[in-house]
Amino acid sequence: MISLRPPRNTWSRIDPAGWLVGPAPQAPADDARPGFRLICCAHAGGSTAAFRPWQVVVGDTAALAVLQMPGRDQRATEAPTVSIAAVADAVASVLTDPDAGGPDAGGAAPPVVLYGHSMGTLVALEVAHRLVAAGQPPLLLVLGARVPPHLSTPAARMLDLDDDAFFDGLDRAYGGTPVAVRNDPSMRRHYIRIMRGDFRLSADYIAGFAATGAGRPPLPCPLLAFSGDTDRAAPAAAMAEWRGYGTAGFNQVTLPGGHFFAIERPRPVVSRIIAAATRLIG
């Protein structure tokens, strides 16, 4: 269970298309700006709700923003996105846009910290490369519960399974799905559609990674990797393979929990991200 109660304020779009959403900004009395922007990308089947409890820990230390994928949340009527690359293009465009809080928006923009959880890690990785190409590298790339793309995962193999076997595969690899989802036909259809679509995005990305991503230079920003000590999909030994994806330092933390350790218990993860970002800012 999530151990923090999320705030009840309505989150709003940061950009007109709604790729990023976050809590409405509150101008502090001393007119101080957040130290950094924390951009979060959710797991397969996830939504912005996964990161709402993070705001309790983040407070006014950072400006929290969460990826809102087409086909869910405020964008539920939109067609699903076609690729992880398309998502990364859109998010990077928002982050470098002065009108959306990018550089020169009311002064120098706070640096960007990217966090991806499971499938969202692939999105965060691609956004990081696009920010580097734009001359605005992230302060820190944080990788959660997803092995690097040169290693195999069960996602592609599961796409050929029927729905019952697909659910069983989720149970084995990632810790299961809510019983209510399995038992409610409407919820089941919706969940299966979202999950299969996200697994297809991941599988397509991995299939093309050797040609499009493996030959790129490592990122010039520090990397911080998190894993759960009982996560079968992303064990600590495999998460250590992220070390080769950057040249500015690599740190790894293993926390109690399974695949969704950062969603179920946000505080240990968020507090470590804040500490790492604060050290880098100086």
Give 199-258 pLDDT, tens digit per residue: 999 999 999 998 877 789 999 999 999 999 999 999 999 999 999 999 999 999 999 999
Q: In this structure, are residues 139 and 113 in contact, taking their beta carbons and an 8 Å threshold? A: yes
Report the pLDDT value the prediction gives residue 2, as an integer from 0 to 100: 40
Q: Has residue 3 got a pLDDT over 50? A: no
User: Strands, DSSP E only, in the chain?
Assistant: 11-13, 20-23, 36-41, 62-67, 112-117, 140-144, 223-228, 250-255
Task: Locate 111 and state its tokens.
Answer: 């640096």
- pLDDT for residue 32: 61
pLDDT tens digits along 121-172: 999 999 999 999 999 999 999 999 999 999 988 777 899 999 889 888 888 8
Domain locations along the chain? 34-151+218-281
Instruction: Give the β-pairing of 223-228 and 250-255.
Output: parallel
Query: Percent of the chain scored above 90 by pLDDT?
Result: 69
Output the pLDDT for position 167.
86
Residue 9, Cβ neighbours under 10 Å: how many? 11
Looking at residue 253, what is its pLDDT?
A: 98
Q: Is the pLDDT of residue 260 over 50?
A: yes
User: What distance in Å separates the CA atoms of residue 41 and residue 131, rounded to the nearest whole number?
Assistant: 15
What does the pLDDT average to over 69-96? 94
Provide the 8-state DSSP code for 227.
E
Residue 192, CA distances (Å) to 12, 21, 166, 172, 182 in order:
27, 25, 9, 16, 10
> Which pLDDT belongs to residue 100?
65
Identity of the amino acid at 205: Y
The closest alpha carbon to 90, from 69, 108, 115, 121, belongs to: 69
Question: Does domain 34-151+218-281 correspond to CATH entry 3.40.50.1820?
Answer: yes
CA–CA separation, 84 and 123 (whole Å): 6
The phi-psi region of residue 174 (left if phi > 0; otherwise alpha if psi is between -120 and 50; otherwise beta) is: alpha
The token duo for 7 is: 């705030």
- Distance between CA atoms of residues 25 and 22, nearest Å: 8
For residue 236, give the amino acid letter: A
Residue 31 confidence (pLDDT) above 70 = no
Q: Please say if the pLDDT value at position 25 is more than 90.
A: no
> Is 121 in a helix, a strand, or coil?
helix
Q: How far is CA 28 from CA 18, 23, 41, 103, 111, in A?
A: 25, 14, 27, 21, 19
Strand, coil or helix: what is 14?
A: coil
